[in-house]
A and B are shown apart, each in its own frame.
Chain A
């Protein structure tokens, strides 16, 4: 039996007598250590308190009703839908990294895919929270599903909101399967190294008796490839369907045909920014600098730059066609967006999403962790504002000037948004503590030692 060292200290150099063992050690000791670093405790305490705020807010919301938010005519959709679209968008990077980069054989993804997938799951949970608490009668969400009932009613499947239920639901299920399936061999690794019976039982149950047989690996790899091939169009479809919620309407500012790819690009953009935001501290505190290398972060920055530029293309196309269409209403919607009462939000969005990411053209910036972190946070702020701009500026001045208005959020809007971050970080920190945050088996399979003459 291999010598298993106990890691009470956080060091960067992995133990183990060969390349594979080093990888195993580096990842599994994060789970095996009796005490995580103090930064983890601090972050967890903060995340838990924010989660508490979320619970209190939701409790009060159910007691008092939707009126505690700023949702009011004419911007009746308000912040909950902004937060929903924001979180769904964040939840795109994980599957993209797992599936699309897998199909394109981008081996660098193995360093980050596990944590990105986890982030996807948690972000989608946060996203699903918002329609759940926004429907006004949160005890009736099953009305959205085609269940036979005593009223002999069926859902209205021609509605984009019904499409959303299926798209986000399917996406959550498939992402969860993908994440879990990828983890099975790694859970077996933790099981095989476990000291206590309880640990062995829990991780053993989760690993389902995986023993690394080649016959099993063969089917496993096929299934993984198939899931990746399925997840790729799925990831495109999810944010496209979310964009249909807006684009099928006749409202200027919402109804434009570029919305589906534009939303998808924006989702990837914000998702990658979130992955970088989370991974920079995670690799620092858990001693994973050897596995999540600077070159991986550099690649992520390039993708952020590329998708940010695609988003900029979409903004420009919208503006050009708003003028080109010759439609009075289209033109007004966009002039109002850029120079109306919400100009501050619009220009925040443009500078955060299009201008700031351009800094990633410089290699120096892509090599500076602080700059990277800052730009990625700015991108996330910008992407939140993008959804806010789309929703608020299009709704607040529609065809009838008598019904124009201005959206004013209440403190509860802020607290619920903050609380959703608490939920997200709580789940992510628990994941960092108890599950393998890097795909051990995958990283071994692309390691030179797996092919060379060691």
Chain B
């Protein structure tokens, strides 16, 4: 009926303007990171400790975007989703920005090798020897094991995202339907390993900032934010491509509505996980656990906590509820940008208020934002470069026609 659209009259390869933009982003990213590190080391009164905190926030933020998109790719294959085929390639390309994000992780690991305990106090040998609790955790929280784990995470994420992109692109060339089956087969064990690596990465990078604190839900909490912001970035990238004349007829309001629904779902899921974690710790009121929230409910962090509750749940929940908000690009773009900002605030909130007030470093807007902008630019630049020369739509996917003709009820 109304679905006469197909990919033949659509621009499905990145144009010159887009490729140029990708290169510019890559360079801008490197420059911004260099500026951020430079300012952090020279002018910033907080010193190296402050720089490392800013760096960790930016790193965990950009990692959450990459992991969110990797999950999106895995779940589409796992569920053999048909509606998303036309928009899946963009997610694959974005997820393929993960290797460069992983390389940024060296910025966290190298100071550790140099026995810098500014970020993670468990790196300090002497402290660990004299602290019963840290001593107990030393078999897990030590620099060599941490390095090995990071190597495993990074290799897995980088390898998996490259595998999905390459296999999918190969299908464009060969048109073999078996490749869909291969990706479906890989997606199931990949999902399990993804869950495990993401959980332990969140424990390693974020939870161990306060090595005395623990929560079994923590991995799920980081996961919820990842997926939510991954969808936001996905939708924004599609809009950016469309506004530059790509895939204008293939991708329709129906696809945006579905991405919006998933985003809405994960806004609620984040709230559910966040509430459950908070409520259970608040209710039981055991000193081993409550201090973590106590720090976040003291001034000035109390304001950030409340802002997070309102900005990360209440407002987007009300805002994204309606059907037309998810179908109109302007309104959806607004909420995507909004959610990407609150995801950053979430990371900020997780990293800074750890330890007693006297031991903390204050945030520095300049260093924080320069590094975050630099890493996001680097990530996107790398992703756009991987998009160069390949189709932006998996043209030979057997389910493509279903996806093109897809309609919400």
Contact = CB atoms under 8 A, between A and B. Distances in A.
Interface of A: 103-105, 221, 225, 233, 236, 240, 244, 247-250, 255-261, 309, 313-314, 317-318, 321, 324-327, 361
A318 B216 contact: yes
20 contacts: A103-B261, A221-B409, A240-B276, A244-B279, A248-B284, A249-B284, A250-B286, A255-B280, A256-B216, A256-B280, A257-B216, A257-B277, A259-B280, A260-B273, A314-B216, A318-B216, A321-B214, A321-B215, A326-B136, A327-B288
Contacts of B133: 326
Secondary structure of the B side of the interface? Answer: helix
Secondary structure of the A side of the interface? Answer: helix
B280 A247 contact: yes
A317 B140 contact: no
Contacts of A244: 279-280, 283
Given A309-B192, A317-B199, A327-B288, A233 B268 contact: yes
A260 B276 contact: yes
B246 to A, nearest CB: 27
B195 A225 contact: no
Contact of A258 (B196, B217, B261): B217
Contacts of A103: 261
Interface string B37-80: 00000000000000000000000000000000000000000010
Contacts of A258: 215-217, 220
A248 B217 contact: no
Contacts of A361: 188
B83 interface: yes
Interface in B132-146: 132-133, 136-137, 140
A109 to B, nearest CB: 13
A248 B218 CA distance: 17
A240 B280 CA distance: 11
Interface string B193-232: 0011001000100000000101111111000000000000
Interface centre among A221, A236, A247, A318 (most CB of B within 10 A): A247
B404 to A, nearest CB: 16
Interface centre among B132, B133, B283 (most CB of A within 10 A): B283
B281 interface: yes
B7 to A, nearest CB: 22
B334 interface: no
Contacts of B83: 105
Contacts of B136: 326
B286 A325 contact: no
Given A257-B217, A309-B192, A325 B288 contact: yes
Contacts of B113: none
A225 B220 CA distance: 28
Interface in B225-278: 261, 268, 272-273, 276-277
A35 B306 CA distance: 64
Given A258-B217, A260-B276, A326-B137, 9 more contacts: A240-B276, A250-B285, A257-B218, A258-B216, A259-B280, A317-B199, A324-B137, A324-B203, A325-B288
Interface centre among A103, A105, A248, A258 (most CB of B within 10 A): A258
B128 to A, nearest CB: 12
Contacts of B220: 258, 261
Contacts of B203: 324
